[in-house]
A and B are shown apart, each in its own frame.
Chain A
């Protein structure tokens, strides 16, 4: 096995551990941090079922962004929906035999890749063109967009310009899952693509991309609007309450 393969195998195992452990810790923190106040953004649902529906709409359709800024919403949907199709297309590298739906979705994954890059470039233009957004943009905002654009561009580059041996790549990725390591083709675009993806996995738990799990824990979105029907007491405040009532 070549040094290159060994390096990438170790890189991906390390990236996977950092991603899973880091994300798990972060989700644990989101789930346990106190939410002392009842602060749903009104108008808000008055039942738990309604709240589930509201979060589902927020996650799937970006409802609040739609209400606040239409053109940003368009680029955001282009990116996220494109990314979803791209992920489905890439499932072919992780399943054997490949699922029927994934086979059918292959061509849509390519359009997804294009939509993803267009959406990202739109969101990046926003950071350069809109004065007040440019003013509050930090280096990490730009670097995250650059990283995602580079991943998309190298992926499309392999599809349209410099091909690589995808059968060998699938053997490599399955090898990671089976602990039976197979050689990685040495094509530069592929190495760049995979390296950037590993980098994305590593920075994910420390970055703004945490909005993905975070949206589910947003108090202004996940609270039921029933402050008069049910008194809201944070778990840490309950003993204080009980002591006062005594």
Chain B
């Protein structure tokens, strides 16, 4: 037990000696910035609950025909579509926004099996 305590003390001292911002830096996702300054909910809430809002809205729309509420995938695309980072795709898409964090956290997205991630404003041949 004495030896264990001694070892802990040593590690504690070593930790204290390491500067707070040591290391090469943690890899972080860099999602593209959307339009405007504020999403439909505060950023912290959107980061945690956007999937629930979209899933709930899907049920509202598909089963009960309710449209035009606060949460709509179409509106996600309108604000968050940016020029696609892949050179062969010349359109405004959600690729640069959703994929960054979803790849980082290994969460697959099934929205775009049916819906388009391409912004309507990119279809007029502006690209």
Per-residue A-contact encoding for B87-121, CB less than 8 Å = 1, 0 else: 00000000000000101111110000000000000
- Which chain B residues lie closer than 8 Å to A97 at the CB level? 103
In the assembled complex, A17 has its CB within 8 A of some CB on chain B: yes
Instruction: Give Cα A13–Cα B8 distance, bound, in whole angstroms.
Output: 10
Smallest Cβ-Cβ distance to A181: which chain B residue: B20
The CA of A141 and the CA of B29, in the complex, are separated in Å by 43
A-B contacts besides A13-B11, A98-B106, A171-B26, 5 pairs, CB < 8 Å: A18-B4, A97-B103, A106-B106, A167-B104, A180-B21
Which residues of B sit under 8 angstroms from A25, Cβ to Cβ? 4
Indicate if the CB atoms of A182 and B26 lie closer than 8 Å.
yes
Q: Taking the nearest CB of chain A, how far is it from the CB of B103, in angstroms? A: 7
Say whether B105 contacts A166, CB under 8 Å. Answer: yes
Please encode chain B, from 1 to 21, with 1 for each CB lying within 8 Å of some chain A CB and 0 for all others. Answer: 000100110011001001011
Docked pose: A168 CA to B21 CA in angstroms:
17
Contact between chains at B8 and A167 (CB < 8 Å): no
The contact string, 1 if C-beta is below 8 Å from chain A, for chain B 24-66, is 1111110000000000000010011101100000000000000
DSSP class of A's interface residues: helix, strand, loop or mixed?
helix
Contact A180 B26 (CB under 8 A): yes
25 contacts between A and B (CB under 8 A): A1-B20, A13-B11, A14-B11, A21-B7, A96-B27, A96-B104, A103-B106, A106-B106, A163-B48, A163-B51, A163-B52, A165-B47, A166-B105, A167-B47, A167-B101, A168-B47, A170-B104, A171-B26, A174-B27, A175-B26, A178-B25, A179-B18, A180-B21, A180-B23, A187-B48
Instruction: Write the residues of chain B forming the contact surface with A, with a CB cutoff of 8 angstroms.
Output: 4, 7-8, 11-12, 15, 18, 20-29, 44, 47-49, 51-52, 101, 103-108
Q: How far is the CA of A13 from the CA of B11 in the complex (A)?
A: 9
Enumerate chain A residues within 8 angstroms of B49, measured Cβ to Cβ: 163
Residues of B within 8 A of A197 (CB): none
Decide yes or no whether A220 CB sits under 8 A from chain B: no
Q: Which of the listed residues B21, B44, B51, B106 has the most CB atoms from chain A within 10 Å of its own CB?
A: B106
Contact A164 B22 (CB under 8 A): no
Q: Which of A18, A102, A180 has the most CB of B within 10 A?
A: A180
Determine if B107 and A106 form an interchain contact, defined as CB atoms under 8 angstroms apart.
yes
Chain A residue contacts of B107, Cβ below 8 A: 106, 166
In the complex, are the beta carbons of B7 and A13 less than 8 A apart? no
